[in-house]
Amino acid sequence: MALDERAFFSDRNETRPARYTCNRCRRTNEYTVRWVRRVKKDRLPAGADERDRAKFAKSFNHLYRIDDVVNCVRCRRRFEIPSHQSMVPLQDGEN
């Protein structure tokens, strides 16, 4: 049986500031957004087969955004964060 991809990573929650524009009032403000930092483990977990080894070799460190919406500071309306920024690959030095 194949391993789940989560077995390849160590997860850690963090928050980062980001600037977004409200769709309703058109004001740009800074918001705190929650992310999960996924760092690749040093070695492959026990019980891995050939497919798991191939997946592990291709995996990389990344940030995955948890929050999909934020509340506007000005008009108090909820608006969606653009989805093209939901996963950010990390450079080798950013562990």
Tens-digit pLDDT profile for residues 35-63: 999 999 999 888 888 998 999 999 999 99
Q: What string of DSSP letters covers the chain?
A: -PPPGGGGEEEEEEEEEEEEE-TTT--EEEEEEEEEEEEE-SSPPTT--HHHHHHHHH---EEEE---EEE-TTT--EEEPPGGGSEEEPPGGG-
Report the pLDDT averaged over residues 67-83. Answer: 92
C-alpha neighbours within 13 Å on the C-beta side of residue 94: 10
CB neighbours of 58 closer than 8 A, spacing ≥ 6?
none
Residue boundaries of the structural domains of the chain: 5-90
Query: What pTM was estimated for this model as a whole?
Result: 0.81
